[in-house]
Amino acid sequence: MAVTFHAETGQLDLRPDSPAYAKQLRLISSRIVAAASDAVGTQAVRTVRVLAVGARLFHEGVADVQSFATTHET
């Protein structure tokens, strides 16, 4: 589900599997930011962007979420 993390801006992009899940993610985005901050121990994630179902982003210089999680484990 997580697509990318933009370290410079603190934006986490999420790609849900269904429109209903997208709506739920939008409703709880502030909780997602808080949980990510608690897990990492910093304010690394400042915003969540919920992408369209099935959307893909390919940007140069954007961190892979898996590598971010691996490098920021506590």
pLDDT given for residue 18 in this prediction: 92
Distance CA 54, CA 35 (A): 24
Amino acid identity, residue 18? S
pLDDT given for residue 26 in this prediction: 95
pLDDT given for residue 42 in this prediction: 85
Number of Cβ within a 10 Å radius of residue 1:
11
SS3 7: coil
* Closest by CA position to 3, among listed 60, 62, 46: 62
The domain ranges of the chain are 2-71
pLDDT given for residue 5 in this prediction: 87
Amino acid identity, residue 37? S
Q: What is the pLDDT along the chain (74 residues), one digit of tens a residue?
A: 667 888 899 999 999 989 999 999 999 999 999 998 888 888 889 999 999 886 665 554 444 444 444 344 33
Which residues face 2 on adjacent strands?
14
